[in-house]
Amino acid sequence: MRLPPAVLASAEEVLREILRFMAPADTTLSRYFKDHPRLGGRERGAIAECVYAVLRNKNFFTEFSEPNGGATMRRLALLGLADAVGVDALPGLSPEETEWLQRMQAIDRSLLHKSLRTNMPKWLWEKLVEQYGEDEALQLADALNTPAPLDLRVNALKADRDKVIAQLAEAPIAAQPTPFAPLGLRVLKKPALQNLPLFKEGAIEVQDEGSQVLAQILGARRGEMVVDFCAGAGGKTLALGAQMRNTGRLYAFDVSEKRLAKLKPRLARSGLSNVHPVAIAHEKDAKIKRLAGKIDRVLVDAPCSGMGTLRRNPDVKWRQPADAIGEMHAKQVAILDGAARLVKAGGRLVYATCSLLNEENDAVAQQFVATHPDFELVPMHQVLAEQKIDLEMGDYLKLLPHKHHTDGFFAAVFQRKQMDKAAPAEEADD
């Protein structure tokens, strides 16, 4: 079934704006669809998939598009739409365009030069090769340029995973258990979930399996005091609250009231009453100082480059300059230092990112241990064994799309040493 001609014109128009990289692609798309309410669901889906296909394949598509402005944008839109819905669904093609698109789709991309196959900025590709070696970096790049599946987390307060699979099958939506997260489901297609009773009632939430594993390794228990230090829209907060069986106190801190506002409807669906969202000004906010040394477990899912999420957010690699990574490192160190003050003796602190880069991951963890003698690293293989998660890791959690079929995640677990009775207690506002 062919798409209406307006779809190609709309795809060109929105691509022209998105490829300026002045704002996140999803933000620009949302605004465009709001401004063009006559576009139907099918048309919006095709335009969105077109945009993401172009962002994933930018180097490759650009290399084979015409050099002059108008033709280039049309050809990029055609390539993106052909990737999303197939050549036969495209409206108004000339015979030359049809033949060109078919030739493009027949290209064996594994034979292309690395700059075209990997579709990454030069600085990022060089970092990945330095860390992983060229062969594994190529596997990683291929995985990052493949759309992610849809992962769900079953809310254990309201539902059972096997029963949810059966209820989804009636929709009909095929879902299978995730291998590592005990409450995760993977949906291979991307159905609309918002109108499902399971979603409306809070029995399921959209959450990547890697993100679910991060929440799991914090090990939050009934009756504890727990902090999600960079809660954002609260995906991990909800997972932690359910792990705590809706007992104890779970603080959701974030510097953005707008992000915390997105947590509220999700919180209402979840049935949780132990979650307390708190907007903070910075990592040394007085609201944090009041809780210093009182918290059992703290999760710091730190702001980062987001390079582990390129399957979902391919524009990130084009919007992020190389020098931003150093700035991120300094911010991450400061946030982790601020969060550490909350942890009581014997309590645990988890530092996590959705990045693949050592500067944001290993280097931050190593610096923390070197500058905080009152904390010790808990090897990740020990933590995973405690949580009965079947993953082989060393000192850190390193989830990779080409190996684990999740987004790219890093995590390190630290434990505050039991204090010597002769030593003075730490000042809350040091």
Annotated binding-site members: 254, 301
Phi, psi at 422, each rounded to 5°: -80, -15
Residues placed in the known binding site for S-adenosyl-L-methionine = 254, 301
Among candidate residues 50, 230, 304, 354, the one labeled active-site is 354
Distance CA 80, CA 19 (A): 13
Distance CA 209, CA 181 (A): 6
- Under a CB-based contact definition with an 8 Å cutoff, are residues 394 and 365 in contact? no
Phi, psi at 159, each rounded to 5°: -155, 165
Annotated active-site residue 230? The verdict is no
CA 138 to chain centre: 21
3-state secondary structure 371-421: HCCCEEEECHHHHHHHCCCCCCCCCCEEECHHHHCCCCEEEEEEEECCCCC
> Which tokens hold the place of 272?
């949780």
> Which tokens hold the place of 77?
């839109």
Cβ count within 10 A of residue 257: 10
CA dihedral 272, 275, 279, 282 (to 10 degrees): -130
Cα–Cα nearest to 218, from 245, 246, 237: 237
Q: CA-CA distances (angstroms) from residue 209 to 143, 150, 227?
A: 16, 9, 21
> Which tokens hold the place of 342?
């909350």
Strands 184-187 and 150-154: antiparallel
CA 30 to chain centre: 19
CA quadruple 140, 145, 150, 155: dihedral sign: positive
Q: Which residues of 26-63 are buried (b: 16+ CB within 10 A; e: fewer)?
A: eebbeebbeeeeebeeebbbbbbbbbbbbbbbbbbbbe
Distance CA 74, CA 80 (A): 10
> Which sequence positions are flagged as catalytic?
354
